[in-house]
Amino acid sequence: MTTEPPRLQPALVVVMAMSIGIIVANLYYLQPLLHDVRGDFRVSTASTSLLITLIQVGYVVGLFFILPLGDLFVRRTLIAVVFFVAALAMAGASFVHSFAVFAVLTVLIGLTSVAGQIIIPFGADLAPDAQRGRVVGQLMTGLLGGVLLSRTLSGALSEAIGWRGVYLSSAGLLVVTGVVLFVVLPRERPRDRFEYRHLATDGLRMLRGSRELRRRGWFGATAFGAFSVLWSTLAFHLSSAPFHYSSGLIGLFGLFGMAGIVAANVTGRLADRGRADLATRSAALLIGVGFVVLYFGRTSVWCIVVGVIVLDAGAQGIHVSNQSIIYALAPSQRSTINSIYMVCFFTGASVGSLLAGYGYAHFGWNGTCAVGALFALATTVPAWAWRATGTDAVRRAPIH
């Protein structure tokens, strides 16, 4: 007797999307607080900006070693456990007064933030084939909401209860969310079983065997690298002359990236219609345009707002088109294929943050924009030069 997959109800999609936003927010609470953290621990700008790289490195490690477990264990239990460990890491970071210990906990926070990437392929499994791109777009709405609103929330809360209070509040929210998910997530149908040692290497085998996965991994790495270049240094730029903005005001800039949510849903629908490459090319151009605006409008708050909007829309548009395609490559191992894609994605982010920190420390905002422009070119040129394989060809990609 065949076990039918549980039906994906709209209310469950909303809960899953909100949960993704809550866990992924841990990666971004720090960004508008960098100058506060720098002052509290009394360390240099370069050392503080390195925290952004460390949290992304932790995330990459989690993607490679934890995310494939979604193809091995019951995901409802796995997701809840990771949420609770994330809560412990956030609570610990709110109390420590050693910068070295805080840096170690920052890596752990990145490591546990992968729970959102376990939920996304779970939702893709539950969705009907004809609606998968749309459902992924809706789940990505939650992720993007967490990415963008986390900065605004952390900035506002830090003004009232300090940056440490932001971390402690997040810990409490993670505990509540973990309990809710354990209760509402459906039981899964029987799935193929894989040995963990194979899961840890299958992603690399997939990457080696599929041209389309390599292509999408490159787009993800370069686009999110560009995204990280901006957000790794924006707080430093806005807290200095001529702006001198507070953490609360800097956090509000996250709201201007809400255009990325619109781009995610539009791109998901384009992918369902077999036009993911068009979405990728258009979004790649937006990233380059965003950095041009940011460079020439370095002293204008309105130009920076426009640059943030355009850049975020471009980066998130590429990400959703990538995910809608990679989930068709290996339906029985969506967690594993998402793992290797996101490793590429956040490796690009880590490199972007590292180079941005160096560029800003030595050349200021001009250095940030120069590094960002290089990532934009690395996205746009291949997007227009590489011949598309098409969605149907992707579904037949030789992945074993």
Distance of CA 140 to the CA centre of its chain: 9
Confidence category of residue 346, pLDDT binned at 50, 70, 90: confident
Q: What is the C-alpha separation between 139 and 133, in angstroms, rounded?
A: 10
Smallest Cα–Cα separation from 320: which of 264, 278, 279, 281? 264
Q: Which amino acid is at 147?
A: V
Residue 7's pLDDT band, with cuts at 50, 70 and 90, is low
Residue with tokens 């598309």: 388
**Type of residue numbered 21:** G
Check pLDDT > 80 for residue 335: no
The string of pLDDT tens digits covering residues 213-272 is: 999 999 999 999 999 999 889 988 998 889 999 888 888 887 776 766 666 666 667 666
Question: Are 254 and 149 contacting, i.e. CB atoms less than 8 angstroms apart?
Answer: yes
Q: Where are the alpha helices (DSSP H) in 297-387?
A: 301-326, 334-385
CATH architecture of the domain covering 10-186+194-389 = Up-down Bundle (1.20)
Token output for 173: 């929210």
pLDDT of res. 287: 94
CA end-to-end span of the chain, whole Å? 27
Length of the chain: 400
Check residue 256 and report its DSSP letter: G
In this prediction, residue 83 carries a pLDDT of 97
Going from N- to C-terminal start, the domains of the chain cover 10-186+194-389
- Please determine, for residue 3, whether its predicted confidence score (pLDDT) is greater than 80: no
Q: How far apart are CA 318 and CA 296, in angstroms?
A: 25
Strand locations in the chain (E): none
- Give me the pLDDT at residue 85, please: 97
Distant-in-sequence, close-in-space partners of 272: CB < 8 Å, separation ≥ 6 = 130, 131, 132, 133, 134, 324
For position 376, what pLDDT does the model report?
Answer: 96
| Cβ neighbours for 79, distance < 8 A, ≥ 6 positions apart | 115, 118, 119, 122, 178, 181, 182, 185
Q: Tell me, what's the pLDDT at 389? A: 46
pLDDT tens digits for range 127-143: 777 777 778 778 877 88
Mean pLDDT calculated for residue range 142-159: 85
What would the pLDDT profile of 305-315 be if each residue is shown by its tens digit?
999 988 988 88
Q: What is d(CA 24, CA 147) in angstroms, rounded to the nearest whole number?
A: 7
* Tens-digit pLDDT profile for residues 36-92: 999 999 998 888 989 998 998 999 898 888 877 877 788 899 999 999 999 999 999
The residue that leads in pLDDT, 244 or 316, is 244
For the four alpha carbons of 7, 8, 9 and 11, in that order, the dihedral sign comes to positive
Structure token pair of residue 394: 């992707």
| Percentage helix, strand, coil for the chain under 3-state DSSP, each rounded to 5 | 85, 0, 15
